[in-house]
Structure 1
Amino acid sequence: MPQIRRLPDALVNRIAAGEVVERPSSALKELVENAIDSGASRIAVKLVEGGLASLEVTDDGCGMTADEMSLALERHATSKLPDEAIEQVMTLGFRGEALPSIASVARFTLESRPQGADTGWKRVVDHGETTAEGPAALPPGTRVRVENLFGKVPARRKFLRTPRSEYAACKDVVQRLAMARPDVAFTLDHGDRRILALQGGETPQDRVAQIVARELKDNGVLLDMERGAMRLTGVAGLPTYNRGVADHQYLFVNGRPVKDRLLTGAVRGAYADMLARDRHAVLALFLDVPAEDVDVNVHPAKTEVRFRDAQGVRGFIVSGLRQALATGDKRSAQSPDAGAMGRWQAEPAREEPSPALRSIFSGRDWTAPSPSRVSEPNEAWRGMEADVMAAPRGRAEEAQPVAEEDRDYPLGVARGQVANTYIVAEAQDGLVLVDQHAAHERLVLERLRAAGAEDAVKREQALLIPEVVELEETACDRLEDAAPKLAELGLGIERFGPSAMLVRSMPHAIARTDPEKLLRDIDDDLALNGEALLLGEKLDLALATMACHGSVRAGRTLRVDEMNALLREMERTPRSGQCNHGRPTWVKLSMEDVEKLFGRH
């Protein structure tokens, strides 16, 4: 019988590295977090071949003595837990595993000089074995270099991706940590190129705009709200400013970048009726909660957290986002499409006169250069003045009454209709184009909600014969736990044995849906997001469909007073800047842009 034995430290470190260090970006995350925890004001990151060849992190933090460096390379040795109250930890790192784990699977060089010391110290560990140590010359702070990651673990090295993919992952890590600490200056170099150069002392909003997209500052709303001991700050993009993937959602808990299903689900729920299902919001949210109300010791990577009051946190985020968007979401995407503007400006000049003028200039040689200035009309032209300058002939009709001028209207005063689909309005600061169907669709949806139609959609409709749906036992457990919440949406279910659920009622709006398919979809949603978001989205879709069918269609001719009534209601209605699918309902072309089209500026 095999004997139980204590594993050697080198093997233990290598086993731990399997969880802590998956790829270069994992090692980089641990090193940058250590630099932040050291009190650094400047952090410099250098990558070679996406971190596959080497990665280096230099900071100006507190530094370490030679004895502290030796201790830091042992397992579970850390300065970040002065006592045993792990539930009170506020630093990014605290497990004491990162440095020995990284050093066990790479060539690891650690150099450090404490603040106020005359010299520094250097220690080199090659895949778990100390190969060199001695004095080192460097400014106060710490420099860590990781080379040849997984060089002696070919099975792991084989599954690393291309340098380009690994570089993208490393850049994402630096960006997230830089957003978490706008007071710290960051630089990122890849080979000979400077990728990021962020100055310290910035506001969170400026740092986010620099990293995510500069347009976010003009196409987003600021959040700063409190509920009890919780505080939510950050920038949330307008629903019309969205992306096809969720990679531009940055979530932070107590300054720690996280990728948490609860928070992701809360964001999705907040934008549920403002975005199409395949579009995702762009935002950066910073949630601050008391340390004892959140557990960060869930996974060695420290990207997952657990909240004591998960539903309270989710409700705070959803209501906070909706409240912020209700104040700023009458706006639409601010910049006109660059491609469309380019086509306006690229209108080709005619090489020949129009047919109406061809007879007048029939004798002119069009290959000859044009005169440099406008001259007086010649004799041939004088004889044709009467024909060319004749008054236009047509039938006079009474004009539509023009609305009373008021230049204070944000969406302006209607001037006409294009293609019986788009309303043209003149505002004080530009030209506004409104998609009449998309705008009215949002207005009708908000009217239905105000009139209680949302409750009517959720009203339950009892089934004549309750239906039994057989599922796996774990799926039944999830659905049973979510049953009270589902009942609020009109879906009445109860446990019917170990591996079956009994469906007694369905929401009125989707009463014809197959109960078995609906329960399986909801279970998948619960397993993925920890929250039954799908049913709410289905009901929102039903309400949105009612709004769509009840709104004015594209192609309908509107009177001027109808156009102005639509514009005024848009100015009063929340979320009127986007339709129910996340598309803009209006766009504005500033007078400066209009003048550029005609070469005035």
Structure 2
Amino acid sequence: MRIQALPTQLVNQIAAGEVVERPASVVKELVENCFDAGASQIHLDIEQGGLRQIRIRDNGCGIFKEDLGLALSRHATSKISSLADLEQVLSMGFRGEALPSISSVARLSLISRTADAACAWKVSADGSETELDPQPDPHPPGTTVDVRDLFYNTPARRKFLKTEKTEFAHIEALIQKLALSRFDVGFVLQHNQKEVLNFKPAADDAARLKRVAGVCGPQFVENAVTIDFSASGLELSGWVGLPTFSRSQPDMQFFYVNGRLIKDRLVAHAIKQAYQDVLYHGRHPVFVLYLNLDPALVDVNAHPAKLEVRFREGRMVHDFLFQALHRSLAAQRPEAAGPELKIVDFAEPAQVQTLLPLDHPGESQPPRSANLSSYAPRPASAVFGKAAVNEQINRYSQLYSTPVPEPQQPSPAGAIPPLGYALAHIHNIYILAETAQGVILVDAHAAHERITYERLKLQYQQHSLVSQPLLLPIRLSVSVAEAELAEQEQAFFTELGFEVNRAGPETLVLRATPAILAKTDVDQLLRDMLADMLTLGFSHKAQEKINAVLAGMACHAAVRAKRKLSIEEMNALLRDMEQTERIGQCNHGRPTWVALSHQDLDRFFMRGQ
């Protein structure tokens, strides 16, 4: 067949295949248009899961009568006019495809009125982009888009939709996500004339937390750490759940870049790294996070539905997110303040040790360099070999077998430590301690395990990675790209303790590995590292393996359950807990202690009721 231009409606329907997947896709595009119009209130009426009707009304700036026809034509927008605008996009929509794409697969009407217009004007469209004839309408300032009979002219697409209940569930979940992106906007969602959601504009922190609790549940707010971190022109704010508050599925994770809800592999990897040794296996963290940066540093034009973005400095963004969350979680320690025992952040950034040291320790700003080798651990004068590791383990395993005198009464100043003083060792497992606010129970093994692990990590980070030659070199068959990468980043692998050379276009030879990883599957580890580096531009797989080995050492060195502890030993453990990062969880993500306030105890026995 000869090359020919496609009919306008067919072009629009092809575009609709990218933009309009289901009713929720229509809702997303239209609500984002409301945001861009400066709306402070959005009302959504949904019928039959969105198949019969989707009507969205806002009180935004409206559209001029003369522009209504352009609004329903492809690649027509008020949001960009040049390449420079495209590189600095801050609006939610900018492609100019949503309305014509929707109108090509549904019956669409658009009613809009600007603030100074005498009346509103209405147009209807079918995706053909033919001449439209606006008609007057008694509509208040703002815009209403009414979408009916979705996919009425494309029955094959309609067959892929789920039940009414399922489709509406997608819409409801979407509105909850969008409501978290704009606290200044009110949302009302109705389904089949029944109100389902009603979020009022949130002007202060208390109102914002109330909206977050409405979406994520009040338990999340009660178990969340507030994030407020900035460096190198990047700002991260929001809330992350404590490791002990997690989900079996990643269904409560909300991440926004310059106000845009996204799902990004690099972001997900950074957050996973931050939780790597505090989250129980198989569990997923809960978070509501907002990243703000120069719009020139992020490409929002990477996905037709704008669900994915591309960062210009991916490594810098990754390390910034990791450092912000890692430090915030690490600094959650017990402190006696206020009416009840609580977890607060009182550590200075320079005091917080990190698993992945920056080029300049003690500085809060991650370096901008994208050079992989600059992120390897820095060598020190001393060598932390196998003998030193064993000596360290033996020392920590005996730490609480020697009585350590501890005062049993408050100091003359009347100060009581945050975790109080030990009273008993229950079932030779749990420490019962009295605090100023009530009592606490501590899992002695879990707490000692975390203390030992953190000390081993700190000790290990202060020394160079010892390399151990292999008795027989390992030959690995890899792709050409992986071989070239290994050759290019040889210095990076050397600093990690690997000696790897290229022996052919698709062959690598591994001659030495980090001594601490001698008993692990190092060839598979090297393959995983190369895969990460090709995909993400960097890899933390080696550090993860090292931490796993240290965690195993800490577990074996920790005080055993059923071993009776003296009062002095228990108090020594409590004091160390108060000084240890991530003490709320053991190395496997289990909680190490719980608190019961005076109010909790009174409630158990119905005192004061």
Scaled to the shorter chain, the TM-score interval is 0.7 to 0.9
Structure 1 window deviating more from structure 2 (81-90 vs 423-432): it is 81-90
Aligned in 2, Cα 1:508/1:151: closer, same or farther, shift over 3 Å?
A: farther
Q: How many residue pairs align between the two structures?
A: 535
Of 510-519 and 156-165, deviating more is: 510-519
The change in CA–CA distance for 1:483 and 1:31 in structure 2 (over 3 A counts) is farther
| 8 Å Cα contact 1:205/1:234 also seen in 2 | no
**Which sits farther off after the overlay, 529-538 or 579-588?**
529-538
| 8 Å Cα contact 1:261/1:530 also seen in 2 | no
Q: Counterparts of 2:421 and 2:328 in 1: how far apart (Å)?
A: 27
1:402–1:560: 8 Å Cα contact kept in structure 2?
A: no
1:427 aligns with 2:428: no
CA positional deviation for 1:569? 1.1
1:453 Cα deviation from its structure 2 partner:
6.2
CA contact (8 A) 1:238 1:329 kept: no
State the match for 2:124 in structure 1: 124
Amino acid at match of 1:314: H
Deviation readout 1:137-178 (Å, 9 max, x if unpaired): 222111112222222222222222233332232223222221
- Structure 2 distance, partners of 1:134, 1:480, is 68
Instruction: Trace 1:108-507 onto structure 2 (pairs within 5 A).
Output: 108-126=108-126, 128=128, 134-200=135-201, 201-203=203-205, 204-330=208-334, 403-405=408-410, 408-452=416-460, 458-474=465-481, 476=483, 485-507=492-514
Q: For residue 236 of structure 2, give the secondary structure of its aligned residue in structure 1.
A: strand
1:41 to partner: Cα distance: 0.5
CA distance in 2, matches of 1:488, 1:159: 52
In the superposition, relative to structure 1, how do residues 235 and 4 fare at CA in structure 2: closer, same or farther (>3 Å)? same
- Secondary structure at 2:562 match in 1: coil
Q: 1:159 to 1:523 in 2, by over 3 A?
A: farther
Normalising by structure 2, we get a TM-score of: 0.82
User: 117-126 vs 36-45, which deviates more?
Assistant: 117-126
Q: Deviations over 1:510-558 (max 9, x none)?
A: 3233344334444555577665344332222111111111111111111
User: Which sections of structure 1, spanning at least 5 residues, go unmatched?
Assistant: 337-399
Q: 1:90 to 1:25 in 2, by over 3 A?
A: same
Cα RMSD for the two superposed structures: 2.8
Cα pair 2:334 2:418 within 8 Å, conserved: no
What one-letter code is carried by the residue in structure 2 that aligns with 1:513?
T
Separation in 2, partners of 1:26, 1:95: 15
Residues 1:28 and 2:27 are matched in the alignment:
yes
Distance 1:536 1:80, change over 3 A: same
Find the aligned partners of 2:500 and 2:161 in 1 and give their Cα distance.
Answer: 46
Task: Tell me, yes or no, if the aligned pair for 1:469 and 1:515 is still in contact at 8 Å.
Answer: no
Equivalent position of 1:572 in the other structure: 579
Secondary structure at 1:297 match in 2:
coil
Contact 2:457-2:547 within 8 A present in 1 as well: no
CA–CA distance in structure 2, aligned partners of residues 434 and 523 of structure 1: 42
The 1:542/1:536 distance shift into structure 2, 3 A limit, reads same
Aligned CA distance change for structure 1 residues 158 and 502 (closer, same or farther; 3 Å): farther
SS of residue paired to 1:47: strand
Q: Does 2:521 match 1:517?
A: no
1:330, 1:575 within 8 Å by CA — same for their partners in 2?
Answer: no
Letter in 1 for 2:68: M
2:103 aligned partner: 103
Q: State the match for 2:93 in structure 1.
A: 93
Distance 1:477 1:49 in 2: 55
- Partner letter of residue 469 of structure 2? A
- Unpaired runs of 5+ residues, structure 2, are 343-404
Residues 258, 485 of structure 1: alpha-carbon distance in 2 compared, 3 angstrom cutoff: farther
User: Does the 8 A contact of 1:244 with 1:278 survive in 2?
Assistant: yes
1:459 Cα deviation from its structure 2 partner: 3.3
- Paired with 2:556 and 2:461, the residues of 1 have a C-alpha distance of 14
How big is the shift at 1:559? 0.6
- Give the deviation of 1:271 after TM superposition: 1.3
Q: Which letter does structure 2 place at the counterpart of 1:575? A: R
Whichever residue aligns with residue 567 of structure 1, its letter is: L
Letter in 2 for 1:250: F
Q: Distance in 1 between matches of 2:541 and 2:446?
A: 24
Tell me the secondary structure at the aligned position of residue 76 of structure 1. coil
Residues 290-339 of structure 1: CA deviation (Å, up to 9, x unaligned): 1111111111111211222111111111111122223325489x999xxx
Range 82-91 or range 12-21, more displaced: 82-91
- Looking at structure 2, the residues matched to 207 and 116 of structure 1 have their Cα atoms a distance apart, in angstroms, of 34
Q: What SS does the corresponding residue of 1:102 show, helix, strand or coil?
A: helix
Distance 2:27 2:417 in 1: 52
Task: Output the CA distance in 1 between the equivalents of 2:476 and 2:303.
Answer: 35
Counterpart mapping for 1:523-542 below 5 A? 525=532, 531-542=538-549
Q: Which moved more, 1:503-512 or 1:421-430?
A: 503-512
Contact 2:9 2:128 in 1 (8 A): yes
Post-superposition shift, 1:277? 4.0
1:273, distance to aligned residue in structure 2 (A): 1.6
Could you say which residue in structure 1 is the equivalent of 2:4? 5
Q: Write the distance in 1 (CA, Å) between the matches of 2:182 and 2:58.
A: 14
Aligned pair in 2 of structure 1 residues 272, 147: CA closer, same or farther (>3 Å)?
same
Q: Is the 8 A contact 1:467 1:515 kept in 2?
A: no
Distance 1:515 1:328, change over 3 A: closer
Q: CA deviation at 1:499?
A: 2.6
**Cα distance per residue 1:229-285 (max 9 Å; x no partner):** 221111121111111222222111111111111111111111112113422211122
Name the amino acid aligned to 1:451: Q
Is the radius of gyration larger for structure 1 or structure 2?
A: 1
Write the deviation string for residues 395-434 of structure 1: whole angstroms up to 9, x where unpaired.
Answer: xxxxx99822366322122111211111111111122111
Deviation per residue, 1:482-527 (Å, 9 max, x gap): 7655554434434443333332322323323334433444455557
Q: Structure 1-normalised TM-score?
A: 0.83
Q: 1:263 to 1:401 in 2, by over 3 A?
A: closer
Matched letter for residue 94 of structure 1 = F
Counterpart secondary structure, 1:222: strand
Distance 1:184 1:257 in 2: 15
Residue 66 of structure 1 and its aligned partner are, at CA, apart by 2.8
Change (3 A) 1:148 1:232: same
- The alignment partner of 2:551 has SS state of helix
- Give the residue type in structure 2 aligned to 1:101: S
Query: Aligned partners of 1:202 and 1:46: how far apart in 2?
Result: 28
